[in-house]
Amino acid sequence: MKCFVTGGAGFIGSHLVDRLIQEGHSVTVYDNLSLGRESFIQHHYSNKDFKFVMGDLLDFELLKLSLLNFDIVFHLAANSDIVKSASHTKIDLEQGTIATYNLLEAMRSNGIKKIAFTSSNVVYGEAKKLPIPEDYGPLFPISMYGASKLACEALISAYCHNFGMTAWIYRFANVTGPRITHGVVLDFYRKLEKNPLKLEILGDGKQAKPYIVVHDIVDGMLFGIKNSNEWINYFNLGTEGSTCVLLIAKEIIKVLGLSEVKLGFTGGDRGWPGDVARVSLDMSKLSGLGWRPKYTTSNEACMVGLRLIIEDLKSRDIQDKQAELKLNH
C-alpha cells in the first residue's frame, strides 16, 4: 500500500511507520514535530519508499498538495497533552477536530477512500458499565481531548456515509513503550530524576486504567484493517483489566533502584479535571476476529512497557547530552 501517516514522527506513529516499512509498504509521514521527534523516523531517510513532509494539518493547501495518490491514511496526529488542554481549550478543537476535518476534506478532494483513526477510550466518559463494550452509550466525554476525539469519530462517520469512504476507528487504552512523549511513567521518571527522595502523585493514586504495549497497538490496528471491511469498523484496543497509578509508582521506584522515596498525593479521586479515574475495556470485537495482544493483561503490559520506557529514556538522555556537547564544541 501507499500509506500517508499523520503524526508519523510521534510515539505511536513512528512505531507504525517502522511496521509498515517492514511489511514492504511505501510511507509518507506528515508531521509538524510539535510533539514528535525527527530522530524517531530518521533511520528511514535513506529508504526510497519513505518520505517526510514537515507540515501542519491546519495548513490545508499544503495538506491537499501532499495528499495525492495514496491507498490509505493513518490519522494519528493530535494533541496528547490532556492536562494542558483543560486550561487551553482551543488546542483540541484546532489540533483535533478542525485538523481531522481538513484531512477528511483533503481526502475527499483527492479521491482517497480509506482512513484508520486513533481514537481513545476517553470518548466513553465515566461509563457506568465496566468493562466498556464498543456499543456503550450514550457517550459523554468529560475532557476536551475526549470531546474532540468523539467529534472526530462523528466527522469520519459522516464522510464515510456521504462520500463512500471506509474507516477503522480504534479506541485505545493507555499506550506504553519506547519513544513515549507523555504519560505517567515519563512524568514519574522525570520527577525522580530531579528529586530521588520524593515523588508527587496526582490524585489519590487509586486511578486505574488499562495499558497496552505500543507494538501490540500497531499489530492490533493492522490486524483490524486486514480482517474487517464494514463501512465503519470500530474497536476497543487494549488489554484485560487495569493498572493503578500507585502500583506504577512503586514499580518505577523499584526498577530505578531507589529507596527511601517519600510518596505525596495531591488528593481527590482523579489526577486532573477531565481525568476518568477508572477504566477497563471489553475487547471482544477484535478478539472475535482472532486477535490477541502479546501481553494480554494490563499489569503485564504496563510492567513490560515501564522497563522499555526507562531503558529508552536513559538512552535518549545520553544521546541528547552528546548532541549538546557536540553543539557547544
Give the pLDDT score at 317: 76
Give the pLDDT score at 243: 98
Pair type for strands 166-172 and 50-54: unpaired
Give the pLDDT score at 112: 98
**Which cell is 283 given?**
475487547
C-alpha distances (whole Å) from 52 to each of 3, 42, 59, 171, 245 are 12, 9, 16, 27, 37
Give the pLDDT score at 88: 82
Mean pLDDT of the chain: 95
Give the pLDDT score at 89: 87
* pLDDT at 259 exceeding the cut of 80: yes
**For residue 211, which phi and psi values (nearest 5 degrees)?**
-120, 145
CATH 3.30.565.10 fits 2-179+211-238, yes or no: no
**Sequence-ordered list of residues with C-beta below 8 angstroms from that of 66, at least 6 positions apart, any chain:** 4, 28, 30, 53, 55
Whole-prediction pTM: 0.94
Q: By percentage, how much of the chain surpasses pLDDT 70? A: 97
User: Average pLDDT for residues 25-49, to the nearest whole number?
Assistant: 96
> Known catalytic residue: 170?
no
Poorest-pLDDT segment among 12-21, 144-153, 191-200, 319-328: 319-328
Determine contact, residues 174/211, Cβ cutoff 8 Å. yes
The residue with cell 510539535 is 34
**Which residue in 145, 189, 211, 295 is the catalytic one?**
145
- Using pLDDT thresholds of 50, 70 and 90, give the confidence band for residue 87: confident
Which residue ranges make up each domain of the chain? 2-179+211-238
Beta-bridged to residue 26, according to DSSP, are 2
Cβ burial, residue 46 (10 Å; 0-12/13-18/19+): exposed
- Using pLDDT thresholds of 50, 70 and 90, give the confidence band for residue 215: very high
Number of H helices, E strands in the chain: 11, 13
* pLDDT at 103 exceeding the cut of 90: yes
Taking alpha carbons only, the member of 217, 207, 147, 145 closest to residue 175 is 217
- Residues making up the chain, counted from first to last: 329
Buried b or exposed e, range 182-218, using 16+ CB within 10 angstroms: bbbbbbbbebbeeeeeebebbbbbebbbbbbbbbbbb
Give the pLDDT score at 322: 66
Q: Tens digit of pLDDT for each residue in 281-324?
A: 999 999 999 999 999 999 999 999 999 999 999 888 777 766 66
- Using pLDDT thresholds of 50, 70 and 90, give the confidence band for residue 329: low
- Using pLDDT thresholds of 50, 70 and 90, give the confidence band for residue 325: low
Poorest-pLDDT segment among 102-106, 179-183, 235-239, 288-292: 179-183
* pLDDT at 158 exceeding the cut of 90: yes
Give the pLDDT score at 58: 98
Give the pLDDT score at 316: 80
Instruction: Tell me if the bond preceding 138 is cis, omega within 30° of 0.
Output: yes
